[in-house]
Structure 1
Amino acid sequence: MIHFVGAGSGAPDLITLRGAEYLRKADVVIYAGSLVNPELLRMTKESCTIHDSAKMTLVEVIRVMREAEKQGLTTVRLHTGDPCFYGAIREQMDLLDESAIPYDYTPGVSSLCGAASALNLEYTLPDVSQTVIITRMAGRTPVPEKESIEALATHGATMVLFLSTGMLPELSRRLISGGCAPDTPAAIVYKATWPDEEKYICTVSDLAQTAEQHHITKTALIIVGDIVTHSHYDRSKLYDPGFTTEFRMGTDKK
């Protein structure tokens, strides 16, 4: 059996109980060595064989999985955060399907959640933004043309950008070209929930300057939108004493 497991955003105790149990039982672990906190590997048993996928190709990863299955072993494929975001898990699952190898998927705490917790943010503030766009800059790997930064910026929604820290001058230019005001609040969160976490509030126009000032070149999330400063917003209707819900009668019976 192959268990795809989200390792969480960085702190070892942010892995799920289920994910930790799979790690403890694993005979083979293939982990994303460039991003997963190695402290998580301390959960594995002494006999567990560990592979760092940062040094492997897809073919090599699948080969390890197939060999483990032939031997009747349990494999954990340990991805950073929650692998449904930029985890390249679909291509692995498709190849496992071709070989009729069973697998399941345990979600994890995404770094976008870790970044929000670092800043005490709510991405969906009433009357400010009720939509979160999760995206990245096009680099060596392209993005669909319809999902350009300029096109997405026109919505004015909260944006969370992965894999874009090395392209901040271009990111700022594209956001502004798409309609973001230069003084739109932004944040850079480096290694959210790790011991060496860093977080900085800035604006869209000075993203690159802020990152350069603090020597941040990778492993950071960029958050863009008025929710970053959250100075003006309407309170939720859910807890408004005048608002009637299925569970209580509000003071305003209308």
Structure 2
Amino acid sequence: MSATPTPNVYFVGAGPGDPELLTLKAQRLIREADLIIYAGSLVPVAMLEEAGPECRIVDSSGLTLDQTHELIRDAARSGHRVVRLHTGDPGLYGAVREQARLLDAEGISHAVVPGVTAAMAAAAAANVSFTIPKICQSLILTRLDGRTRVPELEQLRRLAVHQAALAVYLCGPSHQKLARELLDGGYPPDTTIIAAHRVGWPEEDIQRLTLDKLAKTGAKPLWERQTIFLVLPSQELATSSRLYAPEFEHGFRKNEKNQTLQ
């Protein structure tokens, strides 16, 4: 069996915007790259500070898919290391699939390096948890309708039946529609909402409000399309995990009663 060839092309998750949230692998690949292609409208230039002095850096925000592919293909065929730097995690609301298909058609090996997605970065910045013991144990990552349609079964009013925590991407200017969909779907008006914009950037803006207030909030200058909204049911309830309770027994610890009997 032949060995898997070392990729020349890496789709790298840049995370939400804080260079310190890059993975160690992402940092290494940026240092080793001969060509870095990044979306200047989404990825801050601070992510590129460790690129080598000979590295060619291209902002893809004004390029088409074919133009971007040509740059990657030509560099890879010349034996150069290419980093395609994507905001957040490449597997979520990215455009990796169509780029990868073009590379596969030409026999160019590639790999994906995950990054911190905005939902997790926003929860950390707001000091909240998506899950609450016995109350909320599921998280749904989704978005509102836009230029790309959302399937009917995945409309927010349909997802609301689960009463799960939500992370809703790409809907900053449509926050009132977001609120109406959630209220119509059955989320209580006092449901906690975290509105997070530019998480990890110098202009980071994290706001905490309730669903009914979100429905009445006018346009916010900072709530651009990339704003993410965290929907957190029963966030204010004081509940605790059973994992560390004295009577909770698992493979590494006996409960207090069993310890007394031994």
**TM-score normalised by the chain length of structure 2:** 0.91
CA distance in 1, matches of 2:108, 2:225: 35
Counterpart check, 1:250 vs 2:255 = yes
Percent identity, aligned pairs only, is 38
Q: How big is each residue's C-alpha offset from its partner over 1:1-51, in whole Å with a ceiling of 9 and x where there is no partner?
A: 001111111111110111000000100011121111210111111211111
How far apart, in 2, do the equivalents of 1:205 and 1:239 lie?
36
- The answer to whether structure 1 residue 133 and structure 2 residue 135 are counterparts is no
Query: What does 1:39-54 correspond to in 2, within 5 Å?
Result: 39-54=46-61
Matched, 1:236 2:234: no
TM-align CA RMSD: 1.7
Larger Rg: 2
Gaps spanning 5+ residues in structure 1: where? none
Of stretches 40-49 and 200-209 in structure 1, the one that deviates more from structure 2 is 200-209
User: Which aligned pairs between 1:9-158 and structure 2 lie closer than 5 A?
Assistant: 9-158=16-165
In 2, the alpha carbon distance for the partners of 1:239 and 1:179 equals: 33
Match for 2:49: what amino acid? R
Contact 2:180–2:215 under 8 Å retained in 1: no
Structure 2 distance, partners of 1:173, 1:126, is: 27
The match for 1:197 is: 204
Paired letter, 1:133: I
Q: For 1:103 and 1:87, how far apart are their aligned partners in 2?
A: 16
What CA distance in whole angstroms lies between the structure 2 residues aligned with 1:252 and 1:176? Answer: 47
Q: Does the CA contact (< 8 Å) of 1:188 and 1:211 recur in 2?
A: no
Q: Contact 1:185–1:226 at 8 Å: present in 2 too?
A: yes
Return the TM-score normalized by structure 1: 0.94
Q: Amino acid of the residue matched to residue 204 of structure 2?
A: E
C-alpha distance in 1 between matches for 2:216 and 2:241: 36
SS in 1 for 2:53: coil
Report Cα offsets for 1:171-226 as digits up to 9, x if no partner: 11111111112222211011112222111111122225546356423331101122
Distance 1:126 1:10, change over 3 A: same
**Structure 1 CA distance for aligned equivalents of residues 116 and 124 of structure 2:** 11
1:123 and 1:78, CA in 2 relative to 1: closer, same or farther beyond 3 A? same
Distance in 2, matches of 1:170 and 1:88, equals 26
| Matched positions, count | 252
- The residue type paired with residue 221 of structure 1 is I
Q: Distance in 1 between matches of 2:219 and 2:167?
A: 20
What is the identity, as a one-letter code, of the residue corresponding to 1:248? R
Equivalents in 1 of 2:115, 2:218: separation in Å?
Answer: 27
Match of 1:170 in 2: 177
CA–CA distance in 1 between the matches of 2:61 and 2:53?
22
